[in-house]
């Protein structure tokens, strides 16, 4: 094994030569070759957990398809990202996901569902769904587990990859598997510290800022009309960068750049949710008041 992750390694992706550091993944090599690859459970600021398999590629010499997001490159690898086998597998994964989960707000997946011509009705309407009311237990974020694809991103962000709070985990097995607090107690009673890092990484809207949720319910969520302003958090000396999403001259949510050297996209409760003073309203008041 090569100890230096920067040692150049030569591979081919769809016949294109790519030279990339040995610490890279096949997904990195695909991106270096300008080949778009769907991902769902992967994020640049989280450890890959390999739960979704939407990123699979064909690797010469490998009996099975391999997840590009986590498989490290090796010298001489020949990768195919658009073979019949890969297209078939990605399409099937998307169809299976859509059969059990409400993907209406999974914007990135929508493009891939179109791309692979996935039939989201293929497995019929009677498949198992969580199908429970949206959980609204505070003024900061909501949980809508009918939209949860069990990608584990929130678990990673709450645990080893960012917050180290471990307030949520996957409970149950098989069809009963779901994201849960300990003993399914309410969020305010749980170990959650409301950093919102789980909300920041959720790809489907299953975890969602309450401000965004309220605007969506009112039919007023308009991302195309929103501006993004990057600033520095005013609360403490850590110096986190905040991205203020502003619609109609009101902050509607706060994120942080995934590639920022201080935050890696993660924040604490103050930077993430403590912006009401800008509009001189109390937490829980509508941002429109
Ligand atoms: S709540 Fe969101 S981030 Fe967490 S597992 Fe479900 S889809 Fe993934
Ligand atoms: S987000 Fe939290 S840790 Fe970061 S600068 Fe603001 S108060 Fe400090
Ligand atoms: S993105 Fe690679 S397994 Fe989910």
| Domain limits for position 188 | 141-278
* Reported confidence tier of residue 81, pLDDT bands at 50, 70, 90: very high
Instruction: Work out how many domains the chain is built from and give that number.
Output: 2
pLDDT of 187-202, one tens digit each? Answer: 999 999 999 999 999 9
Do residues 120 and 153 share a domain? Answer: no
Q: Is the pLDDT of residue 281 over 80?
A: no
Q: Is the pLDDT of residue 4 over 80?
A: no
pLDDT of 36-60, one tens digit each? Answer: 999 999 999 999 999 999 999 999 9
Q: Is the pLDDT of residue 7 over 60?
A: yes
Check residue 286 and give its pLDDT: 61
Q: CATH number, domain at 82?
A: 3.10.20.740
Element at 109 (helix H, strand E)? helix 107-115
Say yes or no: CB of residue 42 within 6 Å of ligand 3: yes
Give CA–CA dist 81/71, Å, rounded.
14
Measured by CA distance, the residue closest to atom 7 of ligand 1 is 148
Mutation to probe ligand 2, out of 238, 239, 241, 242 (largest number of atoms < 8 A from CB): 238
Q: Which atom of ligand 3 is nearest to the CA of 40?
A: 1
Give CA–CA dist 195/157, Å, rounded.
10
pLDDT of 204-245, one tens digit each? Answer: 999 999 999 999 999 999 999 999 999 999 999 999 999 999
Q: Is the pLDDT of residue 287 over 70?
A: no
Do residues 196 and 273 share a domain? Answer: yes
Say yes or no: CB of residue 39 within 6 Å of ligand 3: yes
* Reported confidence tier of residue 175, pLDDT bands at 50, 70, 90: confident
In a domain, 111, yes or no: yes
Q: Answer whether 163's CB lies under 8 Å from 266's CB.
A: yes
Measured by CA distance, the residue closest to atom 5 of ligand 1 is 150
Q: Is the pLDDT of residue 284 over 90?
A: no
Do residues 28 and 75 share a domain? Answer: yes
Measured by CA distance, the residue closest to atom 3 of ligand 1 is 202
> What is the CA angle 240-243-247, rounded to 5?
150
Say yes or no: CB of residue 11 within 6 Å of ligand 3: no
Do residues 177 and 224 share a domain? Answer: yes
Percent of the chain with pLDDT over 70: 94
Check residue 200 and give its pLDDT: 96
In a domain, 187, yes or no: yes
Check residue 233 and give its pLDDT: 96
Check residue 126 and give its pLDDT: 64
Say yes or no: CB of residue 18 within 6 Å of ligand 3: no
Do residues 158 and 223 share a domain? Answer: yes
Check residue 44 and give its pLDDT: 93
Do residues 186 and 230 share a domain? Answer: yes
Pocket residues: Cβ below 6 A from ligand 2: 233, 235-236, 238-240, 267-268, 270-271
Do residues 123 and 145 share a domain? Answer: no
Give CA–CA dist 277/2, Å, rounded.
52
In a domain, 242, yes or no: yes
Measured by CA distance, the residue closest to atom 2 of ligand 2 is 268
Do residues 55 and 120 share a domain? Answer: yes
Say yes or no: CB of residue 25 within 6 Å of ligand 3: no
* Closest among 224, 268, 264, 265 to 245, alpha carbons compared: 224
Do residues 121 and 152 share a domain? Answer: no
Q: Which atom of ligand 1 is nearest to the CA of 155?
A: 4
Ligand that comes closest to the CA of residue 161: 1
Backbone angles phi, psi at 108, to 5 degrees: -65, -40
Mean pLDDT within 129-152 = 92
Check residue 176 and give its pLDDT: 84
* Reported confidence tier of residue 161, pLDDT bands at 50, 70, 90: very high
Check residue 1 and give its pLDDT: 46
Element at 89 (helix H, strand E)? helix 84-100
Give CA–CA dist 45/186, Å, rounded.
27
- Residue 280, token pair as written in the block: 């001189």
Q: Is the pLDDT of residue 68 over 60?
A: yes
Give distance in angstroms: CA of 152 to centre of ligand 2.
25
Mean pLDDT within 55-77 = 97
């Amino acid at each position: 094994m090569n100890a230096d992750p920067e040692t150049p390694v030569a591979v081919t992706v769809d016949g294109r030569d790519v030279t990339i550091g040995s610490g890279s993944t096949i997904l990195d090599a695909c991106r270096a070759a300008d080949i778009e690859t769907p991902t769902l459970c992967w994020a640049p600021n989280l450890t890959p957990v390999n739960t979704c398999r939407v990123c699979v590629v064909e690797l010469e010499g490998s009996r099975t398809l391999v997840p590009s997001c986590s498989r490290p490159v090796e010298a001489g690898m020949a990768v195919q990202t658009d073979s019949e086998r890969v297209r078939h597998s990605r399409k099937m994964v998307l169809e299976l996901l859509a059969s059990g989960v409400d993907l209406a707000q999974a914007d990135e997946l929508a493009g891939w569902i179109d791309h692979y011509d996935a039939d989201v009705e293929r497995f019929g309407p009677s498949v198992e769904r969580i199908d429970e009311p949206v959980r609204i237990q505070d003024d900061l974020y909501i949980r809508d587990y009918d939209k949860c694809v069990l990608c584990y991103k929130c678990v990673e962000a709450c645990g080893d990859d960012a917050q180290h709070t471990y307030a949520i985990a996957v409970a149950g097995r098989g069809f009963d598997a779901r994201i849960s607090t300990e003993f399914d107690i309410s969020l305010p009673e749980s170990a959650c510290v409301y950093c919102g890092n789980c909300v920041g990484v959720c790809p489907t809207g299953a975890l969602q800022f309450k401000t965004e949720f309220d605007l969506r319910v009112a039919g007023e969520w308009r991302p195309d009309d929103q501006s993004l302003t990057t600033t520095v958090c005013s609360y403490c000396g850590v110096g986190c960068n905040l991205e203020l999403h502003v619609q109609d001259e009101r902050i509607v949510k706060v994120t942080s750049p995934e590639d920022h050297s201080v935050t890696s996209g993660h924040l604490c409760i103050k930077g993430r949710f403590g912006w009401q003073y800008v509009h001189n309203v109390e937490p829980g008041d509508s941002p429109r008041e």
